[in-house]
Structure 1
């Protein structure tokens, strides 16, 4: 909190999207619900209805967005609340050393900037996500679904968690329960977006859930080392999507389901579930699912860092535990600190460079290689059992 106050008082505020957010809301406040008319200095409103309602509250509290200090202090409190949720998640896990959690709490200028200097909506979607994840760890599935859906209503990046969340629900409670929770989340989206859907459903759906959105090369953090032509090409986007889906399928079928001694078909057709997933199992599924989406994203902008910043310690300690064949090379604490430090460095280079983007992808690859080991290990164990039989 003290660090946030210091930043607010002594680091100059730089306008990026706050003015645009407030412009969107000012148009909405006039009774205009057609999403194609919600325009601002840096572009149209491309976020679902939850974003509009939350920033409408901000609009009122901060004198139509003019009281920037008030807005910054609000986001400072959001930062603290989110950090408390993250620390409780790690308390349930007990996998990451406490000193490292303290380290990530007081470092990262980029993350503090995203919260208290930029006030991006990514911070709000992540806050709601972490509330939902806390409920999930306590097996309060309905409350978890509500908050995950609310998080999605602020920004679409939360969809990256949904494959893992679906698997967790089906493994824990069965396919019927999973379907019911999916309908609940869909119902929340419809209710939140109802006024916009009634005004112009195509406009709302195309803007708020725009899956084919094209990103600007000048803001990319992760693909600076490719040419602008390749970056914008459809083939490049399709290749990234294929890689994302391939690795996601590997983890779903080869690690998460197989760990429960099930196949995809037996999981779907079970009538009663007796599988209990502990905190580390749940966190592994959720954080890896999101990490794969980040790693193979078409472009990462600076505010996207909060999408996975708080999961990096867990991913590092999960990827290279004692007994891993690469533990001596990648598993030592000092090496994990190095990887974390390099990732932090890459996100603080502005504008991004060929070196910073290559380094970021290399660090992601190191984490992914470690995370793939359970899949390889399970195959080896299955081979040994087959030979014994």
Structure 2
């Protein structure tokens, strides 16, 4: 039994393990879509915002849905415009249900049950691709651990236990109720944004493709600005990778150019409105909402005074 335990931890069994995980993911996600009711939260608002954009509106202040004004960058509009087209085509194919009043908001049928079910299956594909990318990142780390172990020229039970622990961690990622919900039951834009983020990580870590990775990272930001929370880590990695400030600035410029190109229809017409609404830097995330605003202001003032004092003494 001990021999089998160590044998199955060998690299040759990594691919079958990953295949079984993805097969399980496919079956589980399909069951979720088929048996758990869709939860309407933001999809109708997304379609309302996209419709305003498709009707020619370029002022972000005037692009809004039931949940309020649009607060996502331009990449969101482009992606969900495509999804709206898919949804409308699906609704047109089932026009009988539309005529019975399903499409009560008249958004080209994009909010009818038939349309939403079609988009759910699109998000199933996105979820499975996301699982492949995340699993590849896990596998990259495992390969690095194996390489270090080979340098020590030993293969003991403790390392086999580490391999199985890592595989177990990979399996746990398949069981997240929240991630399944975000992707296939809520259709949130977090889903494609995080997929692109993980893909950029894969390009950085596994392909050494830093320029392309920066493009993909910026595309993720263009769908949901929350991805910028990863920017400090990316900045550190770029500084380590380039070894110089100039090379880092070049990669950051790639990210900036992507944002300018995607946002140009809005930047060239209502730039202040776009920057203010698409990148609401004044919003406080849920991670710090427990801190009183007065305390945040006090801490901010103290930090400014400390920095100013350090500059004087320096």
TM-score computed with the length of structure 2 as normaliser: 0.69
Q: Which whole-Å deviations, capped at 9, do the CAs of 1:126-182 have from their partners, x for residues lacking one?
A: 111111111101211101110011111111111111112112112221221100111
Q: Compute the RMSD of aligned alpha carbons.
A: 2.0
Q: Which whole-Å deviations, capped at 9, do the CAs of 1:214-233 have from their partners, x for residues lacking one?
A: 57xxxx5x679x5xxxx5x4
TM-score computed with the length of structure 1 as normaliser: 0.56
**C-alpha separation between the residues in 2 aligned to 1:72 and 1:240?**
45
- Unaligned 5+ segments in structure 2 are 1-25, 89-107, 146-164, 302-314
Map of 2:271 onto structure 1: 201
Of the two structures, which has the highest relative contact order with CA contacts closer than 8 Å and spacing of 6 or more? Answer: 2
Are 1:184 and 2:254 an aligned pair?
A: yes
**C-alpha separation between the residues in 2 aligned to 1:239 and 1:185?**
33
**C-alpha separation between the residues in 1 aligned to 2:130 and 2:280?**
27
SS in 1 for 2:188: coil
**C-alpha separation between the residues in 2 aligned to 1:104 and 1:166?**
27
Q: Which whole-Å deviations, capped at 9, do the CAs of 1:30-83 have from their partners, x for residues lacking one?
A: 011111111101111100000010000001011142300011011111110001
**C-alpha separation between the residues in 2 aligned to 1:116 and 1:78?**
9
Larger Rg: 2
Q: For the structure 1 residues 157 and 240, does the alpha-carbon distance in structure 2 shift closer, same or farther, using more than 3 Å as the test?
A: farther
Give the alignment partner of residue 99 of structure 1, picking from 146, 149, 168: 168
Q: For the structure 1 residues 3 and 241, does the alpha-carbon distance in structure 2 shift closer, same or farther, using more than 3 Å as the test?
A: farther
**C-alpha separation between the residues in 1 aligned to 2:300 and 2:47?**
33
**C-alpha separation between the residues in 1 aligned to 2:85 and 2:49?**
13
Alpha-carbon shift at residue 236 of structure 1 (Å): 4.6
- Unaligned 5+ segments in structure 1 are 243-389
Map of 2:48 onto structure 1: 23
Map of 1:81 onto structure 2: 129
Are 1:55 and 2:80 an aligned pair?
A: yes
Give the number of equivalent residue pairs.
230
Alpha-carbon shift at residue 7 of structure 1 (Å): 1.4
**C-alpha separation between the residues in 1 aligned to 2:119 and 2:300?**
37
Alpha-carbon shift at residue 184 of structure 1 (Å): 1.2
**C-alpha separation between the residues in 1 aligned to 2:250 and 2:177?**
41
Map of 2:230 onto structure 1: 161
SS in 1 for 2:185: helix
Q: For the structure 1 residues 190 and 43, does the alpha-carbon distance in structure 2 shift closer, same or farther, using more than 3 Å as the test?
A: same
**C-alpha separation between the residues in 1 aligned to 2:295 and 2:178?**
28
Map of 2:102 onto structure 1: none
Map of 1:116 onto structure 2: 184
Q: Which whole-Å deviations, capped at 9, do the CAs of 1:348-386 have from their partners, x for residues lacking one?
A: xxxxxxxxxxxxxxxxxxxxxxxxxxxxxxxxxxxxxxx
SS in 1 for 2:270: helix
SS in 1 for 2:257: helix
SS in 2 for 1:177: helix
SS in 2 for 1:153: helix
